[in-house]
Structure 1
Amino acid sequence: MSDHRLSSIELDAASLPAATAEIEHERRVAIFDLVEKNSFEPVGAERGPYALKMSSQDGRLVFDVTGPGFSKAHGLSMSPLNKIIKDYIEICDSYYEVLRGTDVGKIEAVDMGRRGLHNEGAEVLQTRLDGKIGIDHETARRLFTLVTALYRR
């Protein structure tokens, strides 16, 4: 396993939107999945593993990364992600509704849309972190899942 990985993630609950029990569960699952498998290489860091603390400050999502001999915080404007997150949450809600039905074609269509938005969100996140933190596509997808859970109401 590479040293360039996240070994822990902490959320600053005081700076993030309040969460219901269901959303707290989503956040815990997203953190578990991300820590379980990821590729995370902050620019300028020689080796990991890294700890990530996520918070919201002045409308920005802050990634505070620490590792052996390394500490750096990066703030990302949420503006480029807001519409994708909103659309992704809406299509996920639709997906769960459609699953209750029996129309396989409709389920597949909504699922394709859901996966497409998930990939789009991951790509935007990967681009926003470019030059700050190197992540692969799968890590970007897992990180987008967590970011969505952070802003879900």
Structure 2
Amino acid sequence: MSNDRLIGVEIDDETLGASGPDAEHERRVAIFDLLESNSFKLLDKDQGPYLLVLSKIERRLVFAVRDEKGNEVHTFILSLGPFRGVIRDYFMICDSYYDAIRTQTPHQIEAIDMARRGIHNEGSELLAERLEGKVHVDFQTARRLFTLICALHAGQTRSAG
């Protein structure tokens, strides 16, 4: 098994956004799926497998990468600015999707779900681009990490919207 992978993911409880049961479920599934299969290669280090602690400080996303013993390997700080629009759009379409599940036809739900996945893919691609030159992640890993970034951002975006 490759060492270029994550073996643990934590989200800082202090910065975890408030969310409902649907978002909590998505977060738990994303972490489970991420740990089952991922590709996470630090370009200038070879100390994996890694533990990842995600947090948010002001308007910045913090990726604290540690080795399997918990020793700090590297910390990446990314501005959340470039993610704001796609995260806002993602939350709006998620709200529509969850409402549709309760009231709409399967065809309407499928159409909204396709749009939701499209916006999620856009956020995942943006994350992979922002990590370029620091960390190489495959698309599925970027998707699951984007879900977790949304969990960190949930309280701020939903209360502002």
TM-score > 0.5, shorter chain as reference = yes
Deviations 1:41-93 (A, max 9, x none): 01112241101111212310010112268711100000111111111111111
* Cα distance in 1, alignment partners of residues 117 and 24 from structure 2: 22
Note if contact 2:64-2:72 (Cα within 8 Å) is conserved in structure 1: no
Deviation at 1:26, TM superposition (A): 4.1
* Residue in structure 1 matched with residue 158 of structure 2 by the alignment: none
Q: 1:105 to 1:25 in 2, by over 3 A?
A: closer
* Cα distance in 1, alignment partners of residues 128 and 32 from structure 2: 20
* Cα distance in 2, alignment partners of residues 19 and 101 from structure 1: 25
* Residue in structure 1 matched with residue 4 of structure 2 by the alignment: 4
- Alignment length (residue pairs): 152
TM-score (norm 2): 0.84
Note if contact 1:10-1:54 (Cα within 8 Å) is conserved in structure 2: yes
* Residue in structure 1 matched with residue 85 of structure 2 by the alignment: 83
Deviation at 1:25, TM superposition (A): 4.8
- 2:21 is aligned with 1:19: no
Q: 1:106 to 1:25 in 2, by over 3 A?
A: closer
Deviations 1:72-119 (A, max 9, x none): 110000011111111111111111211223423322221111110010
* Cα distance in 2, alignment partners of residues 110 and 58 from structure 1: 32
- Structure 2 unaligned spans of 5+: 156-161
Q: 1:30 to 1:92 in 2, by over 3 A?
A: same
* Residue in structure 1 matched with residue 100 of structure 2 by the alignment: 98
Deviation at 1:12, TM superposition (A): 2.0
Identity across aligned pairs (percent)?
49
* Cα distance in 2, alignment partners of residues 29 and 105 from structure 1: 25
* Residue in structure 2 matched with residue 108 of structure 1 by the alignment: 110
Secondary structure of the 1:66 match is strand
- Structure 1 unaligned spans of 5+: none
* Residue in structure 2 matched with residue 45 of structure 1 by the alignment: 45
* Structure 1 range deviating more: 40-49 or 132-141: 40-49
* Structure 1 range deviating more: 92-101 or 60-69: 60-69
* Residue in structure 2 matched with residue 61 of structure 1 by the alignment: 61
